[in-house]
Structure 1
Amino acid sequence: MKRYCAKKSFISTFVTALSVWLGGAVLCMGSGNDSALQKHFNKVFPEATQMSFLLPKKNSPRSVRTLEVRKGKDLLGYGVEVEVVSRSGPFLVMVAVLPDETVSDVQIPKYPHKRGRAVLKRSFLAQFRGVSYGTPLILGKQMDGVSGATSSASAVTEGIRLALLLVHQCVGASAEMEK
């Protein structure tokens, strides 16, 4: 009887721990709340009248969502939400990209980890503004790192590189469709 109770207690503890961990992962991933993503990019593009999600290509990572932002028929830019993973764990990076494929804004909406929080500094994120597709983004050379957050800073840089690549593919695809 004791063995049965101990086994039941272990299973109960395991299930509780798993659900807490999964709940934390869902919180970190934004829990699929599209309106929060749209609300964020509405702050970056206040004159926007229309935002629509672009369908991911077959070979696109599942952890990326892309918005096309318009004012009437005029394209204002793109909003890309990328999940990146550092040594501390996963977190989201939101990148606003102008139609000329330059970064307009970079935000980290939630950083759920204790280590690597220095990537939230405005000075670190601001250095990515104006960076365009094709510019090499090498941490420590073109981009300044952050002391104590090397892994997270590398993850942010990689996320921005991916966002610019996806926007470049979107711009190329829309140019082909207009021909």
Structure 2
Amino acid sequence: MAVELQNDLDDILSLHLNEFFDYISSIRYGYKDQNNNLHFLGDEDFKKYQYSFSTPEQIIHNNCGWCWDLSELIKLYCRKNGIACKSFFLEYLSNDFHHTHTQVLACINGKWSACPDNSMGTKINNPDFNTLEECFKWMKDSYIEYLKYVLQDNFDKLKLTIKEYNCIFSQDMTEDEYLNLIRN
């Protein structure tokens, strides 16, 4: 089974850029729990989770992941295909509302773009920017716009964290383990 999953991963990592991001966008939005059960957005038990980090092989096998998992698959694709990329952790943490997102920004054909995942409707290089700084600003502003939409007058910029990360995540890591590692 492990050899088969590695072959599947190699096949995915060998896809043309647009095919790869079409594949990423097709992955069902959900997570694997500590008992290896899958939970998808819309399921009754979606929010009653014991999250377990999925490796790229597990994402492919389960056709399931959310941004934390998918960012690692996207970064692996970029590294294998010589594409410069940076990964960012975005978090809004208050007593009333907690939201996180991970986002990979990549430089393709000399332009920086947010890499699509299965939670956003963006396409690679649309929009695109001449510099990483411009792309980062767009990503940050888009996240803040989303938060202001959800929180309205309760948005507090002091509760927002956005940082680049370079962590190595272990298979089956819990939510708390993941957050402790990525926050530090």
Query: Same fold by TM-score, threshold 0.5 exceeded?
Result: no
Query: Does 1 or 2 have the higher relative contact order (CA < 8 Å, sep 6+)?
Result: 2
In terms of Rg, which structure is larger? 1
